Structure 1
Amino acid sequence: MKKIAVFCGASKGNDPIYTEQAYVLGKYLAENKYELVYGAGSTGMMGAVANGVIDHDGIAIGVMPRFLGEREIAHENLTEYHVVETMHERKQMMSDMADAFIMLPGGAGSLEEFFEIYTWSQIGLHHKPIGALNTKQFFNPLSLMIDHLISTEFISSDYKNLAIIKENIDDLFSAMKMAQPVKLRDYQK
């Protein structure tokens, strides 16, 4: 793993611990020579993780659709800044560049990015580790939803550990380094 795509919100949430942990993750990425690939924003969780990388002399690569660049403020100190036309192109470029994915707290857009990458892994489009930093148990409901999808047999139990959810950055990276591709599902009529 060299390049880590981080999905997170342009908002900061209602507790400073969210942006504090995003910054710490950015610092960890820089200090351990990982490159950040993210949505290029300078506010909220996106700004915090990028600042953690940049403040510690790391590499921060941003990808933003042109129409969002007109509304969101792109980070001014990125190592690389890519402008694309659509959200789909943004996610595809981030996925193509990344060796692994980490989700931080965010809104519907962050969840959508996570589930798209999760689905792509399920159907074999990639075999890259997918993690979530469970700051303040933010992703406990997501874990319960995955359990529910398994118990109702809408997804295979093989996908239980596809999303690696940890509360500690070191534990998250250790588990992601050990991640194995999941068995592809055989669909029955």
Structure 2
Amino acid sequence: EVFVFTATEYGKSLIGEAEHMVLSPERLSAEEMEEQIRIQKPDLVVDATHPYAELVTENIRSACIHTHTELIRLVRDEGTWDGGDITCVSSAKEAAEFLSRTEGNVLLTTGSKDLAEFTAVPEFEERIYARVLSLPDVVKSCDEMGFRGNHLICMQGPFSKDLNTAMLRQYGCKWMVTKASGMEGGFPEKLEAAKEA
């Protein structure tokens, strides 16, 4: 049997049901992960979390160490890209600081997790168009931060180059903010769209 844990019902819906699979949409703490490993006694734990789910990855690693369970971490290939007109920063906070020294509209495609950092950008309510998942709690959180109306784009990706290009043009964006999320995260399509727009 395979035991699959996702952090949300949405994550569960992406996996789907399968024979010999037990699927649980529970966000587990490090202690709960360790408890599940002790109960299920798996031969192997596979960490297939999102590349930016650093805390979850650390919790899984810790639980496996404490239970002496073998762990494999699946990591997305980030791919390669040429320098072009790209500014690289190491965090959402640095991206917001960079944008604070610029002008023009921004298509923010990093999701809702670090969205609060971008409220530090002057006139963010008018400049930033945030693309996030269309989940009720995400929409509520974004609204509370000041991202609303046509500045809140609720969609599920990944997106094609053409759709990204159309969004950049629709909102008159001079900037696109993304994570280097690899092929699975639609990074090449975002890069090509930014170049074209």
TM interval, shorter chain, is: 0.3 to 0.5
Relative contact order, CA 8 A, sep 6+: which one is greater? Answer: 1
Structure 1 length normalisation: TM-score? 0.37
- Structure label with greater radius of gyration: 2
